[in-house]
Structure 1
Amino acid sequence: MMQALPPPPPAVSAPPPERSVGTQDEVRVAAALTDARVRVDSSFSGASIVLYGAVFNPGDTPADVVVVVRGPEAPVRLVQKTRTFGIWLNSRPVLFEGAPGFYMTASTRPLSDIANFGELRRLGVGVDHLRIAAPEERRTVTRYGVRDVVVSRLGEDYLDWRRAVIRLKEATALYDTDPDGVSFVDRGLFRAEIELPAVAPTGQYFAEVWLFQEGQPVSVSNLTLTVEKVGIERDIYEFAHRRPWTYGVLCVLLAGLMGYVGSRVFRRS
């Protein structure tokens, strides 16, 4: 005698698929990096990273994209050659604190065509508007009838020293400005390349992707990039910073040993 089969379990309805929130009325920019981590070893000769993204622009007002990449800050020490009694001597060193070790801007057009001077200065976009802390030494003067005005000891020469910092960084490809560095590959889709030289400092980098309309910033996307040492280079770097005295003594002993071995080899030959 056949037994009746139990009824099938009730169907469980699948949850609806996730959908993005509508952005029909929102002007914004979204961006990402092809690689958010760069590994530096003895064979590192630089890296090229692609930054890509999309512009959501429901209106007819054209938009510009500006990419700003800042590296870890580090002090910059400068000296100036001065001629004294016919002899060229180094001036008193000037130490700038807080200068980015790497700085790059890429845009769809020249920055001066995208926004005015005041807006770029407020945002710190562009090497001309880069915030570089002046030397800590200060002095008080009287200017335009106002007493106790605090200024840098460099005085009116501050801008010349600041340009020297930027010029030296540009010479080593650590500072770069590309007015055509952002290109649209399709409707609303753009890309830009970040070129890291072999001398790029290690640490955390910050990327800002600005969207401008009619000279005003309307959206920004923030990204991070890590450049780190790997392998034996990282071990030596960390040991040198954790135990600098021991590292220095070992370097002296190693140099003495190599000198002794070299003298013995050349003496026999």
Structure 2
Amino acid sequence: MIAALPPPPPTIQAPAPERSAATTGQVRVAAAMTDAQVRVDSSFRGATIVLYGAVFNPTDAPTDVVVVVRGPDAPVRLVKKTRNMGVWLNSRPVLFEGAPGFYMTASTRSLGDIADFGQLRRLGVGVDHLRINAPQESRTVTRYGVRDVVVSRLGEDYLDWRRAVIRLREAAALYNTDPDGVEFVDQGLFRAEIDLPAVAPTGQYFAEVWLFQDGEPVSVSNLTLTVEKVGIERDIFEFAHNRPWTYGILCVLLAALTGWLASRIFRRS
């Protein structure tokens, strides 16, 4: 007599993964970086950081991603060569305050094709819309028959000085615009590379990942990146900034000692 086999166990179906309301109901972007901290030492020759993320788009409308990375602000001192009585001299220095030490934009296509001029200017996205504070110095002149009219010392030359700031930073690879810097590697998944040159300033960097749809910003993800000195370089940097007088005196003494030793060595030879 053959015993009846027991019935098979009931089929257990795995529950469907839950999705947040923000993922299913609205367009948004999420991003992260492979490394949020860069250590700078004597062997630092630059670094490349990969920024990656995903676009959650429940609609059929296409989207664009724009990555903006801004480094710590620092003053910029500029002079211009002027000819005076046949002699070329440096003009009075102009100090720009609030110019970022590093600025990079990467996008899926040209910024002008993603959003209009006014939208980019309002968000401060792109080198052309970068906010650089003008010098506070001013003078009073008489113009159009009105006395004591306050005019910026740069006047109409402000744009030329501003272009000079951007041109110098671009030549040092500190400012960069890449219209093809954001690449979609899969449906909704994208990546971009942040190239930090060896002269990149230390401090805290801020990254904004904008998601555009039909020329309008619909979502943004904010990230931070820290570039800091380590080792003996950091100790010297902090000592020089915390005790500048002591650091200056030690440099003078070290230079004098080096010169004295060199004179003794060459005298014997």
Give the TM-score normalised by structure 2: 0.90
Amino acid of the residue matched to residue 21 of structure 1?
S
Gaps of 5+ in 1: 1-15
The answer as to 2:144 corresponding to 1:125 is no
Change (3 A) 1:146 1:222: farther
2:147, 2:61 → 1: CA distance?
Answer: 49
Tell me the residue number matched to 1:214.
214
What SS class does the counterpart of residue 120 from structure 1 fall into?
A: helix
1:168, 1:146 → 2: CA distance?
Answer: 38
2:92, 2:156 → 1: CA distance?
Answer: 16
Amino acid of the residue matched to residue 238 of structure 2?
E
2:268, 2:18 → 1: CA distance?
Answer: 79
What is the alpha-carbon root mean square deviation over aligned residues? 2.0
Tell me the residue number matched to 2:236.
236
Give the TM-score normalised by structure 1: 0.90
Change (3 A) 1:225 1:134: same
Tell me the residue number matched to 1:4.
none
Change (3 A) 1:192 1:144: farther
Residue by residue, what CA displacement relative to the aligned partner does 1:136-167 show, whole Å, maximum 9, x if unpaired?
11245677899876542100110000000000
The answer as to 2:147 corresponding to 1:152 is no
What SS class does the counterpart of residue 68 from structure 1 fall into?
A: strand
Tell me the residue number matched to 1:27.
27
1:268, 1:223 → 2: CA distance?
Answer: 61
Identity of aligned pairs, percent?
A: 82
Structure 1 runs (4+) greater than 2 angstroms displaced: 16-20, 138-151
The answer as to 2:188 corresponding to 1:191 is no
2:174, 2:144 → 1: CA distance?
Answer: 39
Change (3 A) 1:17 1:253: farther
The count of corresponding residues between Structure 1 and Structure 2 is 254
Tell me the residue number matched to 2:225.
225
Tell me the residue number matched to 1:112.
112
1:145, 1:61 → 2: CA distance?
Answer: 57
What SS class does the counterpart of residue 24 from structure 1 fall into?
A: helix
Tell me the residue number matched to 2:40.
40
Amino acid of the residue matched to residue 47 of structure 1?
A
Tell me the residue number matched to 2:51.
51
Query: In the TM superposition, what is the alpha-carbon distance from 1:65 to its structure 2 partner?
Result: 0.3
Tell me the residue number matched to 1:62.
62
